[in-house]
Amino acid sequence: MENSGVSKRRSICFFAPYGGRGNISGIQVRLRMLAPNLEALGYDVHVIGPYEEIHGATTHYFSLDVPLLLRPFRGLAASHIIRRLRPSVVILEGPAVVVGLRGTKVIQMIHDSKFVTEHRRRGGWLLWFFYFVMCRVYSCIMTVSEAEKTRIASSLRLARDRIVVSYNGIGDDWSKLPKNLNKDFDLIYVSNFAKHKGHIRFLQSIVGLGYRVALVGGDLGTLAQVRTFANEYKLDVQFFHNLSETDLIDVYDRSRVFVFPSELEGFGIPFLEARARALPVVASDLEVFHELATLLGATIVDFSDTSAVRKAIFRALEVGPQPIETDRFQWKNVAADLSKIIFSESNDMPAARTTR
């Protein structure tokens, strides 16, 4: 519901104008969990994006999923909405330009810098150029892990102190005791089906082992290929799509080991979800997974080495559940840390620049 009233309380506006092609994205999960927790802390929260409603926020339906040449004009319309709201802070959840926000702190959020890797989409250099320019205009840059902070600083040639980190999190339900103790799946992987997510190389590593596998995620281009591979090699794979949080937790609880063969992640929320449900994690050799393994525990392995993957999975299946404390990653704590970051006047955040 859109509300034109402007509160005198501190307010946070998330501008998240891209829909993720109808699939549940990390950005969408983050917004839906942060909004009610920031509201509980006393902030007015606004979300501008292609969402009908987000609990805890005033939602303003808006989309930049239009042809590239039209985006600057649509961006002007979004700037008008933001100026009317007069938020204390604007967080840009994706590449977008906002203008005329006099006295407002604008933070550019970069969840992952895929645009500087081999996994970038066509025209990735344009996105690099956009971020290279705008990250020198906006107040600061925010990302979701120390590993991603390092990559962004290097690729965009920024001082590390211009970048702040706000981890992703999990809701309270993830810490509740499991209700389903039946282990219907040996292995589970939760990730949308995209080329860099590594589904095929994971399945190649378990051919002939008879494992029962759950694959959860929306199609970003490779689902048909994965299905074909699973059928060709007679793998016992069950596919799930658009699960509710309750149903997703249930599938985790019905599984024994979580695998994460992705070739690129900014954070990797399923890693955290799996550990919250006490599943051992076997993850690919990425810097962010080393970071999460230090905090949460995991086995790191090169997924191009079939023998090493098989051994790591076998050991994880033998070890069984590995409970761990995940309080620091509860969304209420993530929201509290985020509020301290964006409203801090200390040296924890770069000196604010405000748009003119």
pLDDT tens figures, 224-271: 999 999 999 999 999 999 899 999 999 999 999 999 999 999 999 999
Domains of the chain in start order, with CATH, are 11-169+331-343 (3.40.50.2000), 173-326 (3.40.50.2000)
Contact at 8 Å (CB) between 16 and 27?
yes
Please provide the average confidence, as pLDDT, over all residues in the chain.
Answer: 89
Amino acid identity at 253:
D
Length of the chain: 356
Contact at 8 Å (CB) between 241 and 216?
yes
The rounded distance, in Å, linking the Cα atoms of 165 and 155 is: 17
**pTM for the predicted model, two decimal places:** 0.85
Residue 335, judged by CB atoms within 10 A of its CB (0-12, 13-18, 19+), counts as buried
Strand partners for 299: 282
Q: Give the pLDDT confidence score for residue 352 in this predicted structure.
A: 38
Q: What is the DSSP string of 40-63?
A: HTT-EEEEEES-S--TTSEEEE--
- Band (pLDDT 50/70/90 cuts) for residue 8 is low
Give the tens place of pLDDT for each residue, 280-315: 999 999 999 999 999 999 999 999 999 999 999 999
The rounded distance, in Å, linking the Cα atoms of 213 and 235 is: 8
Q: Which residues neighbour 263 within 8 Å (Cβ) at sequence distance 6 or greater? A: 119, 196, 197, 198, 284, 286
Task: Quote the DSSP letter at residue 308.
Answer: H
Rounded-to-5 percentages of helix, strand, coil across the chain: 40, 20, 40
Q: Give the pLDDT confidence score for residue 66 in this predicted structure.
A: 80
Give the tens place of pLDDT for each residue, 255-268: 999 999 999 999 99
Say if residue 94's pLDDT is above 90.
Answer: no
* Higher pLDDT, residue 290 or 62: 290
Pairing of strands 281-284, 299-301: parallel
Strand ranges (E), 123-162:
140-143
Strand order in the sheet with 299-301: 236-240, 212-216, 185-190, 255-260, 281-284, 299-301
Q: Give the pLDDT confidence score for residue 302 in this predicted structure.
A: 97
